[in-house]
């Protein structure tokens, strides 16, 4: 649980695939509610980076008030980073072996 007194970031990091995914219906409803019923299609068209920032804030601060996260997302920059295919803890594939032509995980 995050403390409400913890300052929210001014920059969030997301992968390209995160930024391209459509948000859940819960996120869509929360955004529309915070914007007084403005259709989500208009919001995503005019404020796409804000919507991505909001989703990242929800991911990183799930216990915070959604309206406060939406309001804060107006001033948040989005840094798109390359995805780490191994997330730092998965085995990396070794080059194919001579004669078999298969890759095997190495620790």
- DSSP letters spanning 1-45: ---TTSPPPSEEEEEHHHHHSPPPHHHHHHHHHHTTT--HHHHHH
Residue 71: inside a domain, yes or no?
yes
Who contacts 37 (Cβ-Cβ below 8 Å, separation ≥6)? none
Number of domains in the chain: 1
Residue 22: inside a domain, yes or no?
yes
Residue 63's domain comprises: 11-84
Residue 16: inside a domain, yes or no?
yes
For residue range 43-89, list pLDDT tens digits in order: 999 999 999 999 999 999 999 999 999 999 999 999 999 877 766 55
pLDDT band of residue 6 (cuts 50, 70, 90) is confident
Residue 69: inside a domain, yes or no?
yes
Write the burial class of residue 80 (CB in 10 Å: 0-12 exposed, 13-18 middle, 19+ buried). Answer: middle
Name the more confident of 3 and 19. 19
What mean pLDDT value characterizes the chain? Answer: 84
pTM more than 0.85? no
Residue 96: inside a domain, yes or no?
no
pLDDT band of residue 5 (cuts 50, 70, 90) is confident
């Amino acid at each position: 649980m995050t403390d409400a007194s913890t300052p929210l970031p001014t920059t969030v990091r997301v992968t390209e695939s995160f930024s391209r995914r459509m948000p859940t219906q819960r996120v869509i409803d929360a955004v529309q509610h915070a914007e007084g019923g403005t259709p989500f299609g208009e919001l995503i068209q005019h404020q796409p980076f804000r919507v991505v920032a909001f989703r990242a804030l929800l991911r990183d601060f799930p216990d915070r008030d959604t309206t406060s996260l939406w309001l804060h997302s107006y001033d948040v920059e989005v840094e798109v980073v390359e995805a780490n295919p191994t997330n730092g803890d998965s085995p990396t594939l070794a080059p194919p072996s001579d004669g078999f032509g298969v890759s095997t995980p190495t620790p």
